[in-house]
A and B are shown apart, each in its own frame.
Chain A
Amino acid sequence: EPEVTQTPSHQVTQMGQEVILRCVPISNHLYFYWYRQILGQKVEFLVSFYNNEISEKSEIFDDRFSVERPDGSNFTLKIRSTKLEDSAMYFCASNLGAGTGELFFGEGSRLTVL
């Protein structure tokens, strides 16, 4: 069964450093997303991406965050100048189209900022 894959599963970084989280969405999907979940809190929307551009972003997604689809398979989230409060589980998700709606999530990348 097709699935969304994410790497790394866990990344530890020092405050102020840059991190890149990688995702391979399901191959025929057209919409891509990043969500995050701080420990013990709700899953929160960060950004949606379609046709090589951001279609929507939340207030969490400030100018330290960026997304990219560098090739036909990968979708990345970059966080510059990391802060302690960026520590969270980051989930990548994809779906076939806005009309179908069902989102499929990856296993997540746990980011720990020290």
Chain B
Amino acid sequence: KQEVTQIPAALSVPEGENLVLNCSFTDSAIYNLQWFRQDPGKGLTSLLLIQSSQREQTSGRLNASLDKSSGRSTLYIAASQPGDSATYLCAVRPDGTASKLTFGTGTRLQVTL
């Protein structure tokens, strides 16, 4: 059974810092990995999708990498801003299924002034 773990559970950084969020998964047979942002009491906003054949994806200040063989992904946020404060979730989609995602518990990020 696929297990997805995110470390750290919570992180507080001052504005302007670069930071890395970690995601690990136990079964490397994945089709893709998706990073989401969740604001308190809100839905999930897709940030980046990395296919299993890719090593990284970039969108603005966000860069996600994937090392499928070691079961790891990182989300790098450059020049953090208070508006980046949210919970960040990673989710993996196994090979051979439609789109049943398995989610991690998330990293709660706070960017302070």
Contact = CB atoms under 8 A, between A and B. Distances in A.
A106 interface: yes
Interface in B72-105: 89, 91, 93, 97-105
A104 B101 contact: no
A102 B105 contact: no
Label chain B's interface by main secondary structure: strand
Interface string A68-95: 0000000000000000000000010101
Interface residues of B, number: 25
A16 B37 CA distance: 34
B99 A33 contact: yes
Contacts of A103: 34, 46, 99, 101
Contact of A106 (B43, B49, B99): B43
A101 interface: yes
B51 interface: yes
Contact of B98 (A35, A44, A50): A50
The number of chain A residues touching the other chain, given as a range, is 20 to 34
Contacts of B32: 101
Contacts of A104: 46
B6 to A, nearest CB: 10
Contacts of B43: 4, 6, 91, 105-108
Interface of B: 31-32, 34, 36, 41-46, 49, 51, 89, 91, 93, 97-106
25 contacts: A6-B43, A31-B99, A33-B99, A41-B105, A42-B103, A42-B104, A43-B44, A44-B103, A45-B101, A48-B98, A48-B100, A56-B97, A95-B99, A98-B99, A101-B31, A101-B34, A101-B51, A101-B93, A103-B34, A103-B101, A105-B44, A105-B46, A106-B43, A107-B42, A110-B41
Interface of A: 4, 6, 31, 33, 35, 41-45, 48, 50, 55-56, 58, 91, 93, 95, 98, 101-108, 110
